[in-house]
Amino acid sequence: MRIAKVLGNVTLARGTANWNGARWKLVVPMGFEELMDEREPGGEELVAYDDMGVGCGEWVALSEGTGAARPFFPEGKPIDAYVAAILDTVEIATGREDGTGKGTES
């Protein structure tokens, strides 16, 4: 599972019957440095299935690969990424005295 930022909505003109009522979001996974500095993610975007109603700019827990289809067992859906949770806060233990995760000057 990875942390991702929601960039926007994806609208399908047509899709498989399994996707009726589905919502799709454009998300980008965030790396450690992006989480620490709260800067915009620069990774590769992907489309994720959303049944939680996330909004643009929110951080989510993203399940990918075969694990993304698990919530739909035994029916199954042909998806690669699933919004598993909406994140309120993310705390990262840095081990640094100043709590920023950045080096301190001597």
- Residue ranges of domains in the chain: 2-86
pTM exceeds 0.85? no
Q: How many of the other CB atoms lie within 10 Å of CB of 44? A: 7
89 has a pLDDT exceeding 70: yes
Evaluated on CA atoms 13, 18, 23, 25, the torsion sign reads: negative
Q: Render pLDDT for 9-37 as a digit per residue (tens, 0 to 9).
A: 998 887 766 666 778 999 999 888 788 87
CATH for 2-86, options being 2.40.50.220, 2.40.50.90, 2.40.50.140, 1.10.3720.10: 2.40.50.220
> CA nearest 80: which of 88, 68, 72, 92?
68
For 34-70, the pLDDT digits (tens) are 888 766 777 889 999 998 899 999 999 998 877 777 7
Closest listed residue to residue 62, CA positions, set 102, 89, 101, 28: 28
Angle at 32 between CA 30 and CA 37, to 5 degrees: 90
